Amino acid sequence: MAKLYFYFSSMNAGKSTTLLQADFNYRERGMRTMLWSAALDTRGDGMIRSRIGLEAPAHLYAPETDLWTAIGAAHRAEPIHCVLVDEAQFLTDAQVWQLARLADEAGIPVLCYGIRTDFQGALFPGSAALLGIADALVELKAVCHCGRKATMNLRVDAAGAAVQQGEQTEIGGNDRYLALCRRHFTEALGR
Q: In whole angstroms, what is the distance from residue 129 CA to residue 89 CA? A: 9
Any catalytic annotation for residue 87? yes
| 43 vs 181: CA distance, rounded Å | 26
Q: Is residue 68 part of a domain?
A: yes
**Alpha carbon distance 176, 162 (integer Å):** 10
Residue 184 within a domain: no
Q: Would you give the DSSP letter of residue 66?
A: -
Q: Which of 87, 105, 167, 187 is catalytic?
A: 87
pTM: 0.91
What is the residue range of 35's domain? 4-142
Would you say 99 and 83 are in contact if contact means Cβ atoms under 8 Å apart?
Answer: yes
CATH number of domain containing 15:
3.40.50.300
| pLDDT score recorded for residue 168 | 66
Give the number of other Cβ atoms within 10 Å of residue 179's Cβ: 23
Total number of domains constituting the chain: 1
| 19-57 per-position pLDDT tens digit | 999 999 999 999 999 999 999 876 667 889 888 889 899
- If you count them, how many residues does the chain have? 191
User: Tens digit of pLDDT for each residue in 115-153?
Assistant: 999 888 889 999 999 999 999 999 999 999 999 999 988
